[in-house]
Structure 1
Amino acid sequence: MVFRDKGDAVVLKNSICIASESGDVLDYYMLSYSVNNYHPPLIMEDDIAKKYPNTCIKIELVNNADYGLVYTINGRNYRFEFNIDVNGKITNTYSKS
């Protein structure tokens, strides 16, 4: 699978909520981070059919790390990347404009 389209999400300290709207279905996601060189993934779910508004991923994120989230919603593949600096500030590095 190729994940080139820019995705969008809201990142909080203990969850990531993938941007979605009524009628959207989240089929797959995989979150990885730089602390372990992006492998293995921190969390992944496939064939899940989570419907809007249930598109949040509960996970405790750590500071001083780059994260990569790939996901499939409504059959389209997206990529969303972000960073959490040493002070806990979250910065989107590749998101939908």
Structure 2
Amino acid sequence: MTDDANSILPTEDYEIILIAVGENSYYLFKGDEHLDQLLVADGEHPEPIYCLRFDTVIDVKLVLGDAVSIAQYWSVHPDIVARLRADGKLIETDG
């Protein structure tokens, strides 16, 4: 990871971190073991969930490093993220 990654990654240890690319693409960067519970409306999972927002995939690579490929992460449906946001369970920051 780059020095920029260290400055934007949370200092707290969030168990679930999402990467947002553009307006409607979300990927599970950290927390695979909680994926099933994230997908159901009444699932039990660690909160809050941290979401790093990027404009493009190139921005992801510039900040998190070339070794990070969003193709290796689970995709999360935008409606699930919208539910988490509406329930106040999501902390979003620009990457």
For normalisation by structure 2, the TM-score amounts to: 0.29
For normalisation by structure 1, the TM-score amounts to: 0.29
